[in-house]
Amino acid sequence: MSITSDELNYLVWRYLQEAGFEHTTYAFQREAGVHHLDKHFSNRIPLGALVNVAQKGIQFMEVEASVKEDGTIVDSDDKPFSLFGNDYVRSGTPEIEEEQTNALKGAATALLAAPSDITAGANVAVTKIDPGLPTTAPTLTAPANNNNIKKVVAATMTDRATNTQDTQNATSQKDMTREEVPIISLTPSVDVGSVSQCQWSPVDKNVLLTGAAGPVASLLVLNKGGEEEEGTAGTLLPTHGDEMDVDSEDTNSTKKMVKIASTTNLAHSPIPQGDKDITAVSWNRIGTLCVTAAFDGQLRLWTAQGKLRHILSLHRAPILSVRWNKTGSLVLSIDCTNTLVVWDTTSGEVRHHLSLTVAPPPASAAVSAVSAVVGDIQAALGGKDESHESAESITTGFDADWIDGLTFVMTGENHSIVVCRVGEKLPLLVFKGHSAGINDIQFDHVGLLLASASDDHSVRLWQGRSVASTATLLGHTAPVMVVRWLPLLNAANLVGGANIGTMSLVVSASLDGTARVWLPENARCLAVLALHESAIFAMEISPDRKWLATGGMDGVLVLWDLAGLEDNECTEEGAGRALARLEIGAPIDCIGWNLESDVICVGTSGKSYVVEWNEGMRETKVVA
């Protein structure tokens, strides 16, 4: 058995995805081109494959180390085996260490139990006599040299541990999502190819802006063309209950299918290859202009008809986030080197530029280099000012949002959030509270609060009157990747008081495979939406605020009903609000709703789809 470099690269790429290292994943994908292997391996390699392989290797080394060169078993008084050397003793409870020692001695005994008169290359039946195994354990046949016998025993031990852990995880997930809920199985309307970024026009329900691997973004115009004779865009599946029959009256109607009417290519380069993959796309609020950003750091500004208006060049690294201000006069971009630029969309000129990275006090060998960096920062802030030399370090991060036409927030150094204003050299405010990296920040223009999602498993809420968070939303058991605001109009009695008028709920999605809905006023969790089998990376609320779409590593799109959540007196858990699902078969990178909330784009590195959805689908009759 052997492993190729491509297979190893794929395992590493999958591990980076599963661990939530977004930017490292993207960089490795770009350099190794490993995403092209996804269609070959995605259905054959389970989650956690790299960790499982590493654990099996370590356990084999451990078994091997338990037998001395003379064939005797390692004395139990010896130090436990360590991947980092014999002088390193792992910490653990005496009970765990004793269990590990007994398992190793049993495996070593199995190695020495082979008949002594066996010749190399012969095949024998080796009975596993590990004391921890059932007495009815089957026998295995293997080549009878010591190395191969060791492999059999080590693999058997590892398989037992792995199977036990997988069974526990599967049981836990099943218990969490088991409900008697009929869920519609959606049918894709059209394949739009590989899509890693997408956004629908805010004024035209049929226009979709997409970007993917390669130096070309696309403006797609879709309409309802040909007819489908049988079936609707969704049929009912007994996903969580017993078998059901679907009334044929609702499933055999003729309907118009969505088709691509025209495609306009927005090219960043005439060269088909090169470091110009599209990394971000975004429309302004009135749908007259859109911007596309590339891996090489270049942005291009286009009209709604696909005419190039400006080429914006200042970044020297991949751009990860692009945001328009409310009026559309400015657009903000951030790259992976913590460089932030604010552009004037009329002239194409730079209005604001930050490239600030302040390191901790350096070692003597690096004093000169760091001094040069600090000097550049002080120059950017307007000269050396003694009152600011010990001030908080300022760095831009990987996400940002606008508060008003000139004021914006961005993730900063040491898990902080920095509030800045275009044209001003110093930050207005620095929020601190997270203990790990910040993945997403969103400002609510209704309740005037800022929400941040972090690797510390929390969502925090902020307002301008304090540098500390006003609320911490706790409940996720893994890094929170996405946070969104769900505006509610004429909200009343949500916190036991009088009508409080307009407000918003918070919706978050995490690598723990759940989405949660929160009430900001008292940090109460209103619902835990659990149906995904693995991490959620994409989540979007429909423009009509009725539906939530989530997509994750399991390659499944799930649509949820958001109606009436604000009325929950206790936390609602499970898949009871799941309305529909679509199995894509590849990790979902992006989700986008069109203007009328009846069409969804689901993007992956392989095939991506446009899917129809409407409220009538949820009224499909179910015959008991």
Residue 372 pLDDT: 38
Return d(Cα 368, Cα 253) in angstroms, integer.
75
Over 80: is that where the pLDDT of 396 sits?
A: no
Q: Which two tokens stand for residue 226?
A: 């040909």
User: Which has more confidence, 155 or 81?
Assistant: 81
Output the CA–CA distances (angstroms, integers) from residue 511 to 124, 307, 478, 486, 515, in the order listed.
46, 39, 5, 21, 9
Q: Which residue shows structure tokens 């050299």?
A: 425
Which residue stretches of 252-293 are H helix? none
- Residue 25 pLDDT class (50, 70, 90 cuts): confident
Q: Which two tokens stand for residue 136?
A: 């009815």
**Average pLDDT of the residues in 44-66:** 80
For residue 207, which of 196, 195, 219, 197 has the smallest C-alpha distance? 219
- Taking every pair of Cα atoms in the chain, the longest distance, rounded to a whole number of angstroms, is 88
The sign one gets for the Cα dihedral 336, 339, 344, 349 is negative
Q: Tell me the per-residue pLDDT of 193-229, one tens digit each, with 9 for 90 and over.
A: 899 999 999 999 999 999 988 889 999 999 876 554 4
Residue 47 pLDDT: 79
Structural domain containing residue 63: 46-177
**Average pLDDT of the residues in 38-67:** 80
Quick check: is 591 in a domain? yes
What's the mean pLDDT when you consider all of the chain? 74
For residue 612, which of 622, 599, 603, 623 has the smallest C-alpha distance? 599
Which residue stretches of 125-240 are H helix? 146-177
Contact at 8 Å (CB) between 525 and 516? yes
Number of domains in the chain: 2
Over 50: is that where the pLDDT of 504 sits?
A: yes
Over 80: is that where the pLDDT of 4 sits?
A: yes
107 lies in the same domain as 81: yes
Which residue stretches of 20-93 are H helix? 22-32, 38-41, 49-65
Q: Which residue shows structure tokens 């118009």?
A: 256
Amino acid (one-letter) located at 523: A
163 lies in the same domain as 262: no
Return d(Cα 607, Cα 316) in angstroms, integer.
30
8-state DSSP, 73: B
Residue 490 pLDDT: 53
Residue 75 pLDDT: 67
Quick check: is 187 in a domain? yes
**Average pLDDT of the residues in 321-328:** 94
Over 80: is that where the pLDDT of 454 sits?
A: yes
Output the CA–CA distances (angstroms, integers) from residue 513 to 38, 176, 184, 478, in the order listed.
21, 11, 20, 9
User: Which has more confidence, 142 or 290?
Assistant: 290
As a whole-number percent, the residues of the chain with pLDDT over 90 amount to: 39
Torsions phi, psi for 442 (to 5 deg): -140, 130
Mark which of 177, 207, 235 sits at the end of a domain.
177
Over 90: is that where the pLDDT of 113 sits?
A: no
Q: Tell me the per-residue pLDDT of 553-583, one tens digit each, with 9 for 90 and over.
A: 999 999 999 988 888 888 899 888 999 999 9
- Residue 305 pLDDT class (50, 70, 90 cuts): very high
**Average pLDDT of the residues in 505-533:** 94
Strands in 339-344's sheet, in edge-to-edge order, are 319-324, 330-335, 339-344, 350-355
Residue 65 pLDDT: 75
Which one of 86-90, 276-280, 283-287 scores highest in mean pLDDT? 283-287
187 lies in the same domain as 146: no
Residue 157 pLDDT: 41
171 lies in the same domain as 183: no
Q: Which two tokens stand for residue 59?
A: 């356990």
| 3-class secondary structure per residue, 65-99 | HCECCCCCECCCCCCCCCCCCCCCCCCCCHHHHHH
Amino acid (one-letter) located at 423: G
Quick check: is 133 in a domain? yes
Report the SS3 class of residue 256: strand
Return d(Cα 557, Cα 581) in angstroms, integer.
5
**Average pLDDT of the residues in 58-81:** 71
Quick check: is 154 in a domain? yes
Mark which of 123, 150, 177 sits at the end of a domain.
177
Over 90: is that where the pLDDT of 173 sits?
A: no
234 lies in the same domain as 138: no
Per mean pLDDT, which range of 167-181, 209-223, 593-607 is the poorest? 167-181
140 lies in the same domain as 241: no
**Average pLDDT of the residues in 51-70:** 79
86 lies in the same domain as 186: no
485 lies in the same domain as 580: yes
Which one of 51-60, 100-109, 606-615 scores highest in mean pLDDT? 606-615
Residue 389 pLDDT: 33
Spatial neighbors of 546 by CB under 8 A, at least 6 apart, are: 561, 562, 563, 597, 615
Q: Report the DSSP pairing between strands 608-612 and 245-246.
A: unpaired
Which one of 70-74, 93-97, 492-496 scores highest in mean pLDDT? 70-74
Over 80: is that where the pLDDT of 260 sits?
A: yes
Residue 411 pLDDT: 85
Quick check: is 514 in a domain? yes
Cβ neighbours around 179 below 10 Å, total: 17
- Residue 525 pLDDT class (50, 70, 90 cuts): very high
582 lies in the same domain as 539: yes
- Residue 38 pLDDT class (50, 70, 90 cuts): confident
Contact at 8 Å (CB) between 430 and 395? no
Return d(Cα 61, Cα 54) in angstroms, integer.
11
Mark which of 120, 147, 177 sits at the end of a domain.
177
Quick check: is 527 in a domain? yes
Q: Which two tokens stand for residue 423?
A: 């044209």
Over 70: is that where the pLDDT of 42 sits?
A: yes
User: Which has more confidence, 568 or 324?
Assistant: 324
Q: Which two tokens stand for residue 104?
A: 């190793």
**Average pLDDT of the residues in 391-415:** 75
Cβ neighbours around 187 below 10 Å, total: 16
For residue 441, which of 412, 467, 471 has the smallest C-alpha distance? 412
**Average pLDDT of the residues in 325-335:** 93
Contact at 8 Å (CB) between 331 and 343? yes
130 lies in the same domain as 220: no
**Average pLDDT of the residues in 244-266:** 63
Residue 220 pLDDT: 94
For residue 23, which of 305, 391, 335 has the smallest C-alpha distance? 335
Side-chain-facing half-sphere of 5: CA atoms under 13 Å: 2
60 lies in the same domain as 185: no
Return d(Cα 445, Cα 447) in angstroms, integer.
6
Q: What share of the chain is helix, strand, coil (3-state, %, to 5)?
A: 20, 35, 40
Residue 256 pLDDT: 66
User: Which has more confidence, 454 or 247?
Assistant: 454
557 lies in the same domain as 609: yes
Contact at 8 Å (CB) between 208 and 198? yes
Quick check: is 119 in a domain? yes
Quick check: is 472 in a domain? no
Contact at 8 Å (CB) between 367 and 358? no
